Structures are given as structure tokens and as C-alpha cells.
Structure 1
């Protein structure tokens, strides 16, 4: 198994393996995943020397946290890094109606958004219980932003986070309950806004800094570099479109996205590089990126992807992507 490089989270004492495991799929909200299958994904990552695991209360409405904790509880707690999230509290489900967004509910809970001081403190205590662990290394505020809530409601949530919730995060970090704090989202703007009122160690940015999309290089990434804030890249395959599937942003990809991916794939094919290999390695070429955390659907899929992380990417691929205007001018590329 490869020895993964470890990179520092912000200016903290935490170091994560450049390959981490994302557990959104493992929670079973999008496709059914049994407890045994979920724990097998965690075990496969551990056996491959991955030592960074990311989860959240929202993933499987509690199921992912249970599975991560059950799979790793007997391991040396100082040997690996765990991140989870706050911003949603789980409450007993009172309705039998299907979820409006089609998500499955492996456990009998529904979510309530709460970005307040007390809500974040309660979320951490609840996560301890689900995980069966006594330490959370990185705590991300989950899914704040206009992408998730719309402009008007997000202004309300962001004010609560700024005026109340951030105090809880800062207290948890200051007292050593968590080693780092951050935000985990699918958009850049709310992270730019948050840098205006908080000192953040890391941002988990899903789907926005990939081989397909590099807009964060215009503003967010330079700001993070100047502030000493790391970026963890979730969704490096853009919900599957960079792995040969037809989904982007958790839905069917629009024609313009498909066309751009086809152009990127053609350049990769000319260099005999699988598109997923180029996509999985791309974010780590930037020094602000501490880790990528793909979320495999099965343990077998995780193991199948491992060789893609160590495959040699020829320098000519980089130049050809630039010549085709398929890369941001400031984007560093492996190779």
C-alpha cells in the first residue's frame, strides 16, 4: 500500500493523509448501504493507510457517524484524524412522508437547522454519542450558504453563525475540545463571507475545485493562502461526471458540463491517462489543499480507485489542457 503524504491543517498541530475517506454515500441516504457494507468501506480505507475520515450527522441521519465509530473505535486514537459537522440537529421523525429531496432515512430521524451557540454545542455532544468516541479533531459548520438555503434564509442563518455559533466554535477550539474549526459546503461565496468574521483552520469545499471547475482560484484560494486556511476537497469527481457517470452536483449533468468533460476526457485519452486518475490527483497539486476525500459507494470501488492516485501524470497533459482552455491559468497540475 502507498505511504500517503501528510499535510498540515491550517496552522494547527493536525496533519491529515492527502487521501481521506468521505462518508456521505456510506450513510445510505442516496443508495441503500448496510451497516456491514459501510463499515467495510472504512476498514478498506484503514487497510490502505488512509488516516483521515470525514463524516457528518446528516449522512444517513446518524448512520454514517455510527459506522465510522464502530469501525475505528479499537484503533489507536492518536493515529488518525476525524472530522464531523454541526449545523443540523437530528430529531425523531414524526412524518412518514418521503423526503422532499428523495433522500433515504436509514435511521428514524429528521434534521433541524441550528447554527447557534447552543445548537453547535448540542450537535457536538450528540456526535460523541453516535460515534462512541471521546474526541473530534475537526469540526465543520455544515451546509450554510445560499446554495443550500437561498439568499434570504441564508442571511438569517449566517447572522446566527456570526453572532452566536462562531463563539461556540472558537470556545471548542480554545479549550482543546476540537483541534480545528471550519466550514463544509458546496460553494465558495459563503466561505469568502465567513473569512470576514472568523479565524478558520480549514474549509471542506465539495465539487468546486476540481479538474472540471477552478473558479475558487480567482478569490477564495488566494484568501485562504493569506489567512493560513487549508482546503479539503470533497467530491473531486464532481458527483461522478469525472468518473464516467452522468451526474454533476448530485443531479443529471447539463449539456454544457457534459461537453466540457468530454473535451477533458479526450485530452486524457490522448495521453493514455484515465480521466478519474487525472481528476483525483488534480486538487493536490495546489499547496493550499490538504486532502481529497472521495466518497466511494463500496469498499470494492475504493480499492479499485487506489492505483489512480499513484499513476504518473505526464507533463504534456497539463500543457494540452491549458492549450484547450480547459484549465484556469493559475491552476497547478500534477506532472
Structure 2
């Protein structure tokens, strides 16, 4: 099943973090959630464990304010039991029930298996495993589609190869710095899956530029990567565009990607994202990017091979 996505999906991992029910902070977060749900973008992406469940709770309050038009705009993920790491069929059902209760909805357009690191692949795919629960939810009509969402490429390749899922989401591995997810995305497209590419800014340096303390993929950017990004920044400046715009359009222009997931934490951030998406990028930028050669990515997925 191919989902009717838009080029951008709005990420809500930080929405509602550290807020208390009924507080001014929660009210401000709900206002942001209303803006996200009222935008032109098809989906807001959350998860059972984002902000300790507060992301979904805040989105639920926003859905209640907007009404029926917003009930199909949220996609979420099932997560392992926080305290024990249990991630089986029954946990999937509990996670789904927690999510729908927070959101105030009965069903979801897409539900991902999220970061299934606490169980082996065979456990997740086996009898009474997490994937069995997802399939059950899809077959019952409580979700329209099921996906798998995580990071390491060899890990994700195994799940995609099963042919069980309708969608895949990989983060930090298809950017101007790290293109290692390309073969998995290509396989997913051949299987008719919807491809979500998350974190086009590498969770850091491609938004901020090279600077002390810059990060890529939740890891410190090495001096070699800082130097490589500096070269790319000079290419961008020569063409009159910004590094973040080029980083975003690298994903938006790819025929392998159906939707690019970008975290949005404020109304101002949403406006900035829309402005970046509307920025034209000269063709010459892509040619000069290729001439820079592969970037020295700090991401190492060899332990998952």
C-alpha cells in the first residue's frame, strides 16, 4: 500500500516535552500542535515514547480542538515497554491502545515498529512477536498501513526484505553527508513501500554549519567532517543558497524518497522549514556536491551487519 503523503512530514518528537497536564507549557505546546495539524503537510509524525508520551497527549488535545479534520493527520509508532524492554505482540497491542487513547482516535493511517533493538530480528518476526501484532492491527482495520522505523542500515535492510511492511523510515543515513540508506530505500521502492527519510540535517551540523560542538547523527562531528561541510558551505555561498536549504532539497529531490521527516518545535520553525522548501537550488550545486566526494560520516553501522 502506498500512502498519500506530502513531500514533508512534520516530526513531533519534542512536542510537549517536560510539560504538565493543565500547565501554561502544555497550552503553548497545544498551540504549536494546532499549527502543525492545520498546515498544508499531510502528516505529523509521533511515537508512543516521544517526550514520555506527552507528544501524543498534546496532539490529542489539538485534535480535540480542531475536530474530525485532524483525526487522520497523525502517524505514530509502537515502542518497547520502557521499564523492561519487552517488545512482543501483546506489547504492540498495549502500545497502540496507549497511543490511540492519548490521541483520542480509534485508528491510525500508519503505525511503525519503532527501534526494535531490545529483541532479535527472529523474535520480532516470530510467533507472538511484535510484527505479528502489527499485522493483526492492519488486518483488523485499526491501522491502514504498517511500517518499520529505525536507523542502522543493515538492521533495516532485513526488515524491508521481509516484504511485510508498507512503509520504512530511516534517519540520518540519506543526507549530503551519509547516503548509506540508498540501497534499502531503492529496495523498498521496488516493493511498493512508502519511503520516509528522517533527519535530513543530520540532527545537527547541516542545520548549524561547522562549529565547535557540532553533531551529526547524535555523534560529534569529526574535524574531517567539519572541513568537508565547510567546503560544501562555500559551494552553497557561491550559488547564493544556504547549507540547510541544500541539505533539505537533497532529500526532497530524490526519486527514492516519498516524504522527508523534519522535526518542528515551534511556529517559527515551521515557517523556516516552509521557506527552505520553497528555496530554488541551482543545478550547479548538485554537480559541485558530487565533486566534493564522499563525506567522512561518523555513523558506523558495522555492528549490525
TM range (shorter): 0.7 to 0.9
**Alpha carbons 1:232, 1:290 under 8 Å: kept:** yes
Indicate the residue corresponding to 2:17 in structure 1: 28
Please give the per-residue CA displacement for 1:170-229, whole angstroms capped at 9, x wherever unaligned: 121122110111111122111111134341111111111112211122x31221122112
In the alignment, which of 64, 67, 74 is matched to residue 82 of structure 1? 74
| Cα-Cα RMSD | 2.2
Indicate the residue corresponding to 1:150 in structure 2: none
Q: How does 1:191-210 map to 2 (within 5 A)?
A: 191-210=156-175
In the alignment, which of 158, 174, 178 is matched to residue 143 of structure 2? 178
* Partners of 2:221 and 2:141 in 1: CA distance: 43
Distance 1:283 1:322, change over 3 A: same
Q: Report deviation, 1:15.
A: 0.7
TM-score (norm 1): 0.78
SS at match of 1:25: coil
Indicate the residue corresponding to 2:280 in structure 1: 312
Distance 1:192 1:272, change over 3 A: same
**Alpha carbons 1:166, 1:198 under 8 Å: kept:** no
Q: Report deviation, 1:157.
A: 3.1
In the alignment, which of 251, 255, 259 is matched to residue 291 of structure 1? 259
Indicate the residue corresponding to 1:15 in structure 2: 4
Q: How does 1:104-119 map to 2 (within 5 A)?
A: 110-119=82-91
Indicate the residue corresponding to 1:61 in structure 2: 52
Q: Report deviation, 1:17.
A: 1.7
**Alpha carbons 2:110, 2:143 under 8 Å: kept:** yes
Indicate the residue corresponding to 2:198 in structure 1: 234
Q: Report deviation, 1:111.
A: 4.4
In the alignment, which of 273, 277, 283 is matched to residue 245 of structure 2? 277
Distance 1:70 1:326, change over 3 A: same
Give unmatched runs, 5+ long, in structure 2.
Answer: 19-23, 296-305
Indicate the residue corresponding to 1:266 in structure 2: 234
Q: Report deviation, 1:46.
A: 3.3
Distance 1:314 1:326, change over 3 A: farther
* Partners of 2:72 and 2:137 in 1: CA distance: 20
Q: Report deviation, 1:121.
A: 0.9
**Alpha carbons 1:26, 1:295 under 8 Å: kept:** no
**Alpha carbons 1:191, 1:220 under 8 Å: kept:** yes
Q: How many residues align?
A: 283
* Partners of 2:277 and 2:194 in 1: CA distance: 20
* Partners of 1:309 and 1:65 in 2: CA distance: 26
TM-score (norm 2): 0.85
* Partners of 2:83 and 2:245 in 1: CA distance: 36
SS at match of 1:34: helix
